[in-house]
Amino acid sequence: MELEFVKWLASQSGAAPPISLGIGDDAALVAPPPGRELVVTTDMLTDRVHFDLREHSAERIGYKALAVNLSDLAAMAAEPLAALVSINVPRNESATPLPRELYIGMRRLADQFSCPIAGGDTNVADGPLVVSVTALGSVETNRAWLRCAAEPEDRLLVTGALGGSRLGRHLDFTPRVNEARQLHANFEVHAAIDISDGLALDLSRLVEASGAGAIVDLDRIPVSPDAIKLAHQSGKSPVTHALGDGEDFELLFTAPKHVAAELCRLQPLGCRITDIGQITIDRLLQQRDASGQISPLERSGYQHGV
């Protein structure tokens, strides 16, 4: 099956810049544009952990497998160049169209972001479906957004709305690649991360990397309609979902106060930008409620939205 699949894959993706040599040789050749450095990220998705093959179509799973990687590129302000895909196909699925369907879902997103699939590998083995994607991107040399670059007094900003992605958004989201590139080109952004494991946890990663702390204003957090829907079922508050659900794949970033004010006023992106708090010089992670009361912000654990 592998030969047949790789052959089919090769017929789907040709060699065009930045890929000077695509599928068919021992390895692909990829040339980053001049003046830019390569950004590389990889993410592996497993059946029943990140998706459920009994419920979700292979096309949606393929889409997600690439999308989570493009979200990581976006968090570095990188532009996608190419992707590599490795799949473990369960033995009982080896004669089905599953690999092609995964690829078709991936291709939908790859085309949207001009990110050709430059190679791949397929194994058939006992065990769950595993899809591993490695994405290559490029960013202007020394200009990547890093988690460690938050500065005291920076404002904390997020794109979009948070929480409740397990109702479906975790499979169908659009990675914030274009938004990140637009911000990167036009505004002073200091630190950034994408929200994969929940606002509270990913914020804690950002501030720890920066040797700083943060205060989040709970009533400013943009809560998604899905978080409200889920709150009716769970009995938790919508903001708890927004803080802890994860798999939002929105950007969390910091910027100087005047830049944050300008971003919130101009709203230059296709999605909303919201100022949700401030970076502090202490190393505490705190929340402030609507009455002004400050308390520790729990790094609420992430739950993958299946």
Sites of contact with Mg ion (CB under 5 A): 72, 194, 196
Q: CB 247 → Mg ion: shortest distance, Å?
A: 11
Q: CB 43 → Mg ion: shortest distance, Å?
A: 8
User: Token pair of 294, please?
Assistant: 């400050």
How many Cβ atoms sit within 10 Å of the Cβ of residue 262? 15
Q: Which is nearer to Mg ion, 209 or 264 (CB)?
A: 209
Q: Which is nearer to Mg ion, 79 or 194 (CB)?
A: 194
Residue among 254, 255, 251 nearest 271 (CA): 251
CB 120 within 8 A of CB 9: yes
Contacts of 291 (CB under 8 A, 6+ apart): none
Residue 113, classed as helix, strand or coil, is coil
Q: CB 174 → Mg ion: shortest distance, Å?
A: 16
CA distance 104 to 28: 21
Q: CB 170 → Mg ion: shortest distance, Å?
A: 14
Q: CB 72 → Mg ion: shortest distance, Å?
A: 4
Residue 286, classed as helix, strand or coil, is strand
Q: Which is nearer to Mg ion, 14 or 301 (CB)?
A: 301
Q: CB 150 → Mg ion: shortest distance, Å?
A: 15
Q: Which is nearer to Mg ion, 59 or 247 (CB)?
A: 247
Q: Which is nearer to Mg ion, 231 or 251 (CB)?
A: 251
Q: Which is nearer to Mg ion, 187 or 302 (CB)?
A: 302
Three-class SS of 215-244? EEEHHHCCECHHHHHHHHHHCCCHHHHHHH
Q: Print burial letters for 68-86: b (CB count within 10 Å at least 16), e (below 16).
A: bbbbbbbbbbbbbbbbbbb
